[in-house]
Amino acid sequence: MSSAVLDQARAAAAAAKKRGAGDVRVSVYRTRGSRTEWRDGKLDRLRQSTRMGLSVTLYVDGRYSSNATNDLRPAAVDSFLDECIAGTRVLAQDPHRHLPDPARYAGRFTGDLQILDEASAQAVTAADRQRTAQAIERAARSGPGADRIISVTTSCSDRLGESAMVTSNGMEGTRRVTSFSIFAETSIRGEEGRKPEGWRYATSCHRAKLPSLDSIGQEATRRAMANLGAKPEPSGEYPCIIENVVTSRLLRGLFRPLYGNAIQQKRSFLADKLGQAIASPLLTITDDPLLPGGLGSGTYDGEGMATVARKVIHQGVLRSFFIDTYYGSKLGKEPTTGSTSNLVFSPGDKDLTQLLAAMSRGILITGFSGGNSNPATGDFSVGVRGQWIEDGKPVRPISGMNLAGNHLTFWNQLRELGSDPYAYSTIRCPSLRFDAVQFSGK
Protein backbone atom coordinates (compact mmCIF):
# COMPACT_ATOMS: atom_id res chain seq x y z
CA MET A 1 0.00 0.00 0.00
CA SER A 2 2.94 2.41 0.58
CA SER A 3 3.53 2.48 -3.16
CA ALA A 4 -0.06 3.70 -3.63
CA VAL A 5 0.26 6.62 -1.21
CA LEU A 6 3.65 7.49 -2.69
CA ASP A 7 2.14 7.54 -6.18
CA GLN A 8 -0.63 9.85 -4.93
CA ALA A 9 1.91 12.19 -3.36
CA ARG A 10 3.98 12.25 -6.55
CA ALA A 11 0.93 12.96 -8.68
CA ALA A 12 -0.23 15.82 -6.43
CA ALA A 13 3.24 17.38 -6.38
CA ALA A 14 3.46 17.23 -10.18
CA ALA A 15 -0.03 18.69 -10.51
CA ALA A 16 0.83 21.58 -8.19
CA LYS A 17 3.97 22.37 -10.18
CA LYS A 18 1.98 22.25 -13.41
CA ARG A 19 -0.43 24.82 -11.97
CA GLY A 20 2.33 27.29 -11.20
CA ALA A 21 3.75 26.40 -7.78
CA GLY A 22 7.43 27.23 -7.57
CA ASP A 23 7.99 24.56 -4.93
CA VAL A 24 5.72 22.11 -3.18
CA ARG A 25 5.70 19.52 -0.42
CA VAL A 26 2.95 16.90 -0.38
CA SER A 27 2.11 14.38 2.33
CA VAL A 28 -0.47 11.63 1.96
CA TYR A 29 -1.60 9.33 4.76
CA ARG A 30 -3.96 6.41 5.31
CA THR A 31 -4.74 4.93 8.73
CA ARG A 32 -6.97 2.10 9.82
CA GLY A 33 -7.88 1.98 13.49
CA SER A 34 -10.13 0.03 15.82
CA ARG A 35 -11.03 0.63 19.46
CA THR A 36 -13.17 -1.32 21.90
CA GLU A 37 -14.33 0.38 25.10
CA TRP A 38 -15.76 -1.70 27.93
CA ARG A 39 -17.54 -0.35 31.00
CA ASP A 40 -18.81 -2.27 34.02
CA GLY A 41 -19.27 -5.61 32.34
CA LYS A 42 -20.76 -4.29 29.12
CA LEU A 43 -19.58 -3.19 25.70
CA ASP A 44 -19.71 0.60 25.88
CA ARG A 45 -18.42 1.71 22.52
CA LEU A 46 -16.95 0.16 19.39
CA ARG A 47 -15.05 2.30 16.93
CA GLN A 48 -13.62 1.34 13.58
CA SER A 49 -12.37 3.88 11.11
CA THR A 50 -10.30 4.30 8.01
CA ARG A 51 -8.95 7.78 7.51
CA MET A 52 -7.05 9.28 4.63
CA GLY A 53 -5.83 12.71 3.80
CA LEU A 54 -3.51 14.87 1.76
CA SER A 55 -1.67 17.98 2.88
CA VAL A 56 0.15 20.32 0.53
CA THR A 57 2.60 23.07 1.34
CA LEU A 58 2.80 25.57 -1.52
CA TYR A 59 5.42 28.19 -2.40
CA VAL A 60 4.04 30.41 -5.16
CA ASP A 61 5.76 33.62 -6.29
CA GLY A 62 7.36 34.12 -2.87
CA ARG A 63 4.12 33.36 -1.07
CA TYR A 64 3.30 30.41 1.15
CA SER A 65 0.29 28.39 2.27
CA SER A 66 -0.39 25.06 3.93
CA ASN A 67 -3.59 23.20 3.08
CA ALA A 68 -5.26 19.84 3.69
CA THR A 69 -8.10 17.74 2.29
CA ASN A 70 -9.67 14.36 3.02
CA ASP A 71 -11.07 13.90 -0.48
CA LEU A 72 -8.44 12.03 -2.48
CA ARG A 73 -10.45 11.44 -5.65
CA PRO A 74 -8.31 12.66 -8.58
CA ALA A 75 -10.86 15.24 -9.73
CA ALA A 76 -11.31 16.51 -6.18
CA VAL A 77 -7.54 16.83 -5.70
CA ASP A 78 -7.27 18.81 -8.94
CA SER A 79 -10.01 21.20 -7.82
CA PHE A 80 -8.41 21.47 -4.37
CA LEU A 81 -5.04 22.42 -5.87
CA ASP A 82 -6.62 25.00 -8.17
CA GLU A 83 -8.26 26.71 -5.20
CA CYS A 84 -5.16 26.50 -2.99
CA ILE A 85 -2.80 27.96 -5.57
CA ALA A 86 -5.24 30.74 -6.41
CA GLY A 87 -5.59 31.53 -2.71
CA THR A 88 -1.84 31.49 -2.15
CA ARG A 89 -1.28 34.08 -4.88
CA VAL A 90 -3.18 36.74 -2.90
CA LEU A 91 -1.15 36.31 0.31
CA ALA A 92 1.74 38.52 1.35
CA GLN A 93 5.24 37.50 0.35
CA ASP A 94 7.51 35.99 2.99
CA PRO A 95 11.18 35.55 2.06
CA HIS A 96 11.73 33.13 4.95
CA ARG A 97 9.34 30.53 3.59
CA HIS A 98 11.11 27.88 1.50
CA LEU A 99 11.80 24.17 1.40
CA PRO A 100 14.83 22.79 3.25
CA ASP A 101 18.21 22.64 1.56
CA PRO A 102 18.16 19.36 -0.44
CA ALA A 103 21.38 18.38 1.32
CA ARG A 104 19.28 17.90 4.48
CA TYR A 105 17.42 15.03 2.83
CA ALA A 106 20.61 13.00 2.34
CA GLY A 107 21.92 10.25 4.59
CA ARG A 108 18.54 8.97 5.70
CA PHE A 109 18.63 5.85 7.88
CA THR A 110 17.79 2.75 5.84
CA GLY A 111 17.64 0.07 8.55
CA ASP A 112 14.64 -1.39 10.37
CA LEU A 113 13.23 0.91 13.04
CA GLN A 114 11.05 -1.95 14.33
CA ILE A 115 7.92 0.20 14.35
CA LEU A 116 5.74 -2.11 12.23
CA ASP A 117 3.92 -5.19 13.53
CA GLU A 118 1.67 -5.73 10.55
CA ALA A 119 0.99 -9.39 11.27
CA SER A 120 -0.58 -8.57 14.64
CA ALA A 121 -2.50 -5.62 13.21
CA GLN A 122 -3.98 -7.85 10.52
CA ALA A 123 -4.69 -10.76 12.85
CA VAL A 124 -6.40 -9.03 15.79
CA THR A 125 -10.19 -9.27 15.62
CA ALA A 126 -13.10 -7.48 17.25
CA ALA A 127 -13.55 -10.51 19.50
CA ASP A 128 -9.88 -10.30 20.53
CA ARG A 129 -10.28 -6.65 21.52
CA GLN A 130 -13.40 -7.38 23.51
CA ARG A 131 -11.75 -10.28 25.35
CA THR A 132 -8.77 -8.04 26.13
CA ALA A 133 -10.95 -5.26 27.53
CA GLN A 134 -12.93 -7.77 29.61
CA ALA A 135 -9.76 -9.33 31.00
CA ILE A 136 -8.44 -5.92 32.06
CA GLU A 137 -11.71 -5.22 33.90
CA ARG A 138 -11.57 -8.58 35.68
CA ALA A 139 -8.06 -7.76 36.81
CA ALA A 140 -9.15 -4.34 38.06
CA ARG A 141 -11.87 -5.97 40.17
CA SER A 142 -9.69 -8.78 41.49
CA GLY A 143 -7.50 -7.05 44.04
CA PRO A 144 -7.74 -5.16 47.32
CA GLY A 145 -10.43 -2.48 47.29
CA ALA A 146 -12.73 -4.30 44.87
CA ASP A 147 -15.64 -3.81 47.28
CA ARG A 148 -15.27 -0.02 46.92
CA ILE A 149 -15.34 0.06 43.13
CA ILE A 150 -18.01 2.25 41.58
CA SER A 151 -17.00 1.84 37.96
CA VAL A 152 -14.27 0.37 35.77
CA THR A 153 -13.66 1.52 32.21
CA THR A 154 -11.19 -0.32 29.99
CA SER A 155 -10.20 -0.16 26.35
CA CYS A 156 -8.14 -1.92 23.73
CA SER A 157 -7.14 -0.32 20.44
CA ASP A 158 -4.83 -0.80 17.50
CA ARG A 159 -3.84 1.23 14.47
CA LEU A 160 -2.02 0.62 11.18
CA GLY A 161 -0.84 3.74 9.43
CA GLU A 162 1.13 4.55 6.31
CA SER A 163 2.25 7.82 4.84
CA ALA A 164 4.35 9.25 2.05
CA MET A 165 6.06 12.59 1.50
CA VAL A 166 7.30 14.13 -1.74
CA THR A 167 8.94 17.51 -2.30
CA SER A 168 9.68 19.28 -5.55
CA ASN A 169 13.38 19.59 -4.68
CA GLY A 170 14.19 15.93 -4.44
CA MET A 171 12.81 14.29 -1.30
CA GLU A 172 10.68 11.15 -1.34
CA GLY A 173 9.89 8.96 1.65
CA THR A 174 7.39 6.49 3.05
CA ARG A 175 6.57 5.32 6.57
CA ARG A 176 4.51 2.41 7.86
CA VAL A 177 3.80 2.06 11.56
CA THR A 178 1.55 0.20 13.97
CA SER A 179 0.47 0.95 17.52
CA PHE A 180 -1.39 -1.07 20.13
CA SER A 181 -2.86 0.40 23.32
CA ILE A 182 -4.54 -0.88 26.47
CA PHE A 183 -6.10 1.23 29.22
CA ALA A 184 -7.97 0.99 32.52
CA GLU A 185 -9.59 3.54 34.79
CA THR A 186 -11.15 2.71 38.15
CA SER A 187 -13.29 4.95 40.35
CA ILE A 188 -14.08 4.02 43.96
CA ARG A 189 -16.29 5.18 46.82
CA GLY A 190 -14.34 7.64 48.91
CA GLU A 191 -14.99 9.76 51.94
CA GLU A 192 -17.52 12.60 52.04
CA GLY A 193 -18.94 11.68 48.64
CA ARG A 194 -15.61 11.81 46.85
CA LYS A 195 -14.80 9.35 44.08
CA PRO A 196 -11.04 8.80 43.83
CA GLU A 197 -9.84 7.54 40.47
CA GLY A 198 -6.83 5.64 39.25
CA TRP A 199 -5.68 4.80 35.75
CA ARG A 200 -3.02 2.95 33.83
CA TYR A 201 -2.23 2.75 30.12
CA ALA A 202 0.41 1.42 27.78
CA THR A 203 1.12 1.85 24.07
CA SER A 204 3.61 -0.01 21.93
CA CYS A 205 4.42 -0.49 18.25
CA HIS A 206 4.37 -4.25 18.88
CA ARG A 207 1.43 -6.01 20.46
CA ALA A 208 3.61 -8.62 22.16
CA LYS A 209 5.59 -5.92 23.97
CA LEU A 210 2.61 -4.56 25.89
CA PRO A 211 2.60 -5.30 29.62
CA SER A 212 0.28 -7.95 31.05
CA LEU A 213 -3.42 -7.21 31.13
CA ASP A 214 -3.48 -8.04 34.85
CA SER A 215 -0.86 -5.39 35.58
CA ILE A 216 -2.88 -2.69 33.79
CA GLY A 217 -6.17 -3.48 35.53
CA GLN A 218 -4.75 -4.07 38.99
CA GLU A 219 -2.60 -0.95 38.86
CA ALA A 220 -5.61 1.23 37.99
CA THR A 221 -7.43 0.02 41.11
CA ARG A 222 -4.33 0.24 43.28
CA ARG A 223 -3.83 3.86 42.26
CA ALA A 224 -7.46 4.67 42.99
CA MET A 225 -7.15 3.12 46.45
CA ALA A 226 -3.92 5.02 47.04
CA ASN A 227 -5.86 8.28 46.62
CA LEU A 228 -8.46 7.34 49.24
CA GLY A 229 -8.76 10.06 51.88
CA ALA A 230 -6.19 12.33 50.23
CA LYS A 231 -5.68 15.72 51.90
CA PRO A 232 -3.13 18.54 51.56
CA GLU A 233 -0.07 18.76 53.76
CA PRO A 234 1.09 22.11 55.20
CA SER A 235 2.84 24.46 52.78
CA GLY A 236 6.60 24.20 52.80
CA GLU A 237 9.74 23.05 51.04
CA TYR A 238 9.94 19.27 50.74
CA PRO A 239 12.06 16.79 48.83
CA CYS A 240 10.02 14.99 46.18
CA ILE A 241 10.03 12.17 43.68
CA ILE A 242 8.08 12.41 40.43
CA GLU A 243 6.88 9.00 39.26
CA ASN A 244 8.03 7.97 35.77
CA VAL A 245 4.55 7.68 34.25
CA VAL A 246 3.68 11.35 34.96
CA THR A 247 7.01 13.16 34.44
CA SER A 248 5.98 14.27 30.93
CA ARG A 249 3.52 16.80 32.39
CA LEU A 250 6.29 18.88 33.93
CA LEU A 251 8.77 18.31 31.11
CA ARG A 252 6.51 20.05 28.61
CA GLY A 253 7.16 23.33 30.40
CA LEU A 254 10.91 22.83 30.03
CA PHE A 255 10.74 21.92 26.33
CA ARG A 256 8.27 24.47 24.97
CA PRO A 257 10.87 27.29 25.16
CA LEU A 258 13.26 25.22 23.02
CA TYR A 259 11.13 25.62 19.89
CA GLY A 260 12.02 28.09 17.17
CA ASN A 261 8.74 29.98 17.35
CA ALA A 262 9.17 30.68 21.09
CA ILE A 263 12.74 31.85 20.54
CA GLN A 264 11.94 34.07 17.55
CA GLN A 265 8.92 35.60 19.29
CA LYS A 266 10.97 36.25 22.44
CA ARG A 267 8.83 33.92 24.55
CA SER A 268 11.66 31.64 25.63
CA PHE A 269 13.60 31.88 28.88
CA LEU A 270 16.15 29.52 27.31
CA ALA A 271 16.81 31.54 24.14
CA ASP A 272 20.26 32.70 25.30
CA LYS A 273 21.20 29.58 27.26
CA LEU A 274 22.71 27.41 24.51
CA GLY A 275 25.97 25.96 25.81
CA GLN A 276 25.12 26.88 29.39
CA ALA A 277 24.15 24.75 32.36
CA ILE A 278 20.38 24.85 32.91
CA ALA A 279 19.95 21.75 35.06
CA SER A 280 21.74 19.33 37.35
CA PRO A 281 24.78 17.60 35.80
CA LEU A 282 22.84 14.37 36.28
CA LEU A 283 20.38 15.31 33.53
CA THR A 284 21.11 14.07 30.02
CA ILE A 285 18.27 13.95 27.46
CA THR A 286 18.66 12.74 23.88
CA ASP A 287 16.11 13.27 21.14
CA ASP A 288 16.39 9.95 19.31
CA PRO A 289 14.21 9.50 16.20
CA LEU A 290 16.02 6.26 15.35
CA LEU A 291 15.22 4.47 18.61
CA PRO A 292 14.19 0.88 17.71
CA GLY A 293 10.51 0.43 18.48
CA GLY A 294 10.10 4.05 19.53
CA LEU A 295 6.61 5.50 19.25
CA GLY A 296 8.12 8.67 17.78
CA SER A 297 10.70 6.99 15.54
CA GLY A 298 11.03 7.92 11.87
CA THR A 299 13.73 8.36 9.25
CA TYR A 300 12.59 11.86 8.24
CA ASP A 301 10.89 14.71 10.06
CA GLY A 302 7.85 16.79 9.20
CA GLU A 303 9.78 18.70 6.53
CA GLY A 304 11.42 15.64 5.03
CA MET A 305 14.85 16.29 6.56
CA ALA A 306 16.80 13.14 7.47
CA THR A 307 16.60 12.50 11.19
CA VAL A 308 19.52 12.02 13.53
CA ALA A 309 19.84 11.53 17.26
CA ARG A 310 20.94 14.69 19.05
CA LYS A 311 21.68 15.63 22.63
CA VAL A 312 19.21 18.23 23.86
CA ILE A 313 20.66 18.47 27.35
CA HIS A 314 24.00 16.86 28.17
CA GLN A 315 25.07 16.66 31.81
CA GLY A 316 22.86 19.65 32.56
CA VAL A 317 24.13 21.79 29.64
CA LEU A 318 21.70 22.89 26.92
CA ARG A 319 23.00 21.57 23.59
CA SER A 320 20.24 21.97 21.01
CA PHE A 321 17.01 23.74 20.05
CA PHE A 322 14.13 22.51 17.89
CA ILE A 323 14.27 24.83 14.89
CA ASP A 324 12.60 24.17 11.56
CA THR A 325 13.58 25.72 8.23
CA TYR A 326 11.27 28.73 8.57
CA TYR A 327 12.39 29.79 12.02
CA GLY A 328 15.98 28.91 11.16
CA SER A 329 15.78 31.47 8.36
CA LYS A 330 14.18 34.11 10.57
CA LEU A 331 16.71 33.56 13.35
CA GLY A 332 19.73 33.19 11.08
CA LYS A 333 20.39 29.73 12.54
CA GLU A 334 20.92 26.31 11.02
CA PRO A 335 17.72 24.25 11.21
CA THR A 336 17.77 21.20 13.47
CA THR A 337 14.27 19.72 13.37
CA GLY A 338 10.86 21.15 14.10
CA SER A 339 9.70 18.80 16.86
CA THR A 340 10.71 16.11 19.31
CA SER A 341 10.64 12.41 18.46
CA ASN A 342 11.60 10.09 21.34
CA LEU A 343 13.08 11.80 24.40
CA VAL A 344 15.48 9.34 26.02
CA PHE A 345 16.95 9.95 29.48
CA SER A 346 20.18 8.53 30.83
CA PRO A 347 18.82 6.50 33.76
CA GLY A 348 20.23 5.82 37.20
CA ASP A 349 20.61 2.50 39.01
CA LYS A 350 17.80 2.57 41.61
CA ASP A 351 14.20 1.53 41.25
CA LEU A 352 11.35 3.55 42.75
CA THR A 353 11.49 1.71 46.08
CA GLN A 354 15.18 2.52 46.41
CA LEU A 355 14.60 6.16 45.44
CA LEU A 356 11.99 6.45 48.19
CA ALA A 357 14.43 5.00 50.69
CA ALA A 358 17.05 7.53 49.61
CA MET A 359 14.58 10.41 50.04
CA SER A 360 13.37 9.07 53.39
CA ARG A 361 10.84 11.90 53.96
CA GLY A 362 8.95 14.00 51.41
CA ILE A 363 6.34 13.73 48.67
CA LEU A 364 5.92 11.12 45.96
CA ILE A 365 4.08 12.79 43.05
CA THR A 366 1.87 10.32 41.19
CA GLY A 367 -0.30 12.80 39.28
CA PHE A 368 -0.61 16.39 38.12
CA SER A 369 -3.67 18.55 37.53
CA GLY A 370 -4.16 21.95 35.93
CA GLY A 371 -1.46 24.54 36.32
CA ASN A 372 0.62 26.58 33.93
CA SER A 373 4.18 27.21 32.84
CA ASN A 374 5.33 30.55 31.45
CA PRO A 375 7.75 29.92 28.55
CA ALA A 376 9.06 33.50 28.69
CA THR A 377 10.10 33.43 32.37
CA GLY A 378 10.30 29.75 33.29
CA ASP A 379 7.91 30.20 36.22
CA PHE A 380 5.47 27.34 36.74
CA SER A 381 2.76 26.19 39.12
CA VAL A 382 0.93 22.89 38.87
CA GLY A 383 -1.44 20.90 41.04
CA VAL A 384 -0.14 17.60 42.42
CA ARG A 385 -1.40 14.47 44.11
CA GLY A 386 0.49 11.54 45.52
CA GLN A 387 1.80 10.16 48.80
CA TRP A 388 3.46 11.59 51.89
CA ILE A 389 6.60 9.57 52.59
CA GLU A 390 8.12 8.81 56.01
CA ASP A 391 11.18 6.61 56.45
CA GLY A 392 11.03 5.76 52.76
CA LYS A 393 7.46 4.43 52.93
CA PRO A 394 4.08 5.91 51.83
CA VAL A 395 2.07 6.77 54.95
CA ARG A 396 -0.88 8.82 53.66
CA PRO A 397 -2.21 10.21 50.36
CA ILE A 398 -1.97 13.90 49.51
CA SER A 399 -3.94 16.10 47.12
CA GLY A 400 -4.98 19.73 46.83
CA MET A 401 -1.36 20.91 46.75
CA ASN A 402 0.64 22.92 44.22
CA LEU A 403 4.24 22.54 43.14
CA ALA A 404 5.67 25.93 42.11
CA GLY A 405 9.03 27.31 41.07
CA ASN A 406 11.17 28.28 38.13
CA HIS A 407 12.52 25.69 35.73
CA LEU A 408 16.06 27.07 35.93
CA THR A 409 16.20 26.47 39.67
CA PHE A 410 13.91 23.44 39.83
CA TRP A 411 15.92 21.21 37.49
CA ASN A 412 19.10 22.09 39.35
CA GLN A 413 17.51 20.44 42.39
CA LEU A 414 17.52 17.07 40.61
CA ARG A 415 19.50 14.62 42.72
CA GLU A 416 18.85 11.21 41.23
CA LEU A 417 17.27 9.46 38.26
CA GLY A 418 15.68 6.07 38.65
CA SER A 419 16.34 2.91 36.67
CA ASP A 420 12.72 2.76 35.47
CA PRO A 421 12.26 4.77 32.24
CA TYR A 422 8.65 4.49 31.10
CA ALA A 423 8.76 2.36 27.95
CA TYR A 424 5.23 3.04 26.68
CA SER A 425 5.57 6.68 25.70
CA THR A 426 7.61 8.94 23.43
CA ILE A 427 9.13 10.32 26.65
CA ARG A 428 11.36 7.59 28.10
CA CYS A 429 11.81 9.29 31.45
CA PRO A 430 12.51 7.43 34.71
CA SER A 431 11.30 8.49 38.13
CA LEU A 432 13.12 11.62 39.31
CA ARG A 433 14.24 12.53 42.85
CA PHE A 434 14.63 16.20 43.81
CA ASP A 435 15.96 18.06 46.82
CA ALA A 436 13.57 20.36 48.69
CA VAL A 437 11.27 22.36 46.39
CA GLN A 438 8.32 24.62 47.15
CA PHE A 439 4.83 23.19 47.75
CA SER A 440 1.72 25.05 48.78
CA GLY A 441 -0.97 23.22 50.72
CA LYS A 442 -3.13 23.88 53.74
Residue 194 and residue 250 share a domain: no
- Tell me how far apart the terminal alpha carbons of the chain are, to the nearest angstrom: 59
Both 296 and 426 in one domain: the answer is: yes
Which tens digit of pLDDT belongs to each residue from 77-124?
A: 999 999 999 999 999 999 999 999 999 999 999 999 999 999 999 999
Do 217 and 246 lie in a common domain?
no
Last residue of a domain, one of 205, 226, 247: 226
Residues 80, 209 within the same domain: yes
Where does a domain end: 195, 226, 257? Answer: 226
Kindly state whether residues 192 and 243 are assigned to the same domain. Answer: no
Residues 55 and 169 in one domain: yes
Crossing angle of helices 213-226/126-140, nearest 10°? 40
- Does the residue 346 lie in any domain? yes
CA dist 404 and 410 (Å) reads 9
Give the count of domains, the chain: 2
Q: Which of 199, 226, 253 is the last residue of a domain?
A: 226
Query: Chunked in runs of 10, what are the mean pLDDT values of the chain (442 residues)?
Result: 87 96 97 97 95 97 96 96 96 96 96 97 96 98 93 98 97 97 96 89 97 97 95 96 94 96 97 97 98 98 97 98 97 96 96 96 95 96 96 95 96 97 96 96 85
217 and 275 housed in the same domain: no
- Expressed as residue numbers, the domain containing 417 is 236-440
Contact 218, 139 (CB under 8 A): yes
Closest to 390 measured CA to CA, from 420, 364, 418, 425: 364
- Residue 297: name the closest of 155, 426, 193 by CA: 426
Clarify whether residues 295 and 254 are in a common domain. Answer: yes
CB-based contacts of 111, cutoff 8 Å, min separation 6: none
- In terms of domains, do 50 and 179 share one? yes
Contact present, 413 and 437 (Cβ < 8 Å): yes
Q: What is the CATH number of the domain that holds 41?
A: 3.30.2290.10
Residue 113 is which amino acid?
Answer: L
Does 277 lie in the same domain as 208? no
Q: So what's the pLDDT on residue 43?
A: 95
Q: How does pLDDT run across 169-202, given as a tens digit for each residue?
A: 999 999 999 999 999 999 999 887 789 999 999 9
Answer whether residue 13 is part of any domain.
yes
| CB-side neighbour CA atoms (13 Å) of 264 | 16
For residue 2, the model assigns a pLDDT of 67
Residues 6+ apart with CB under 8 A from 180: 117, 120, 121, 157, 158, 159, 203, 204, 205, 206, 207, 210
pLDDT the model gives residue 143? 84
State whether 215 and 268 are in the same domain.
no
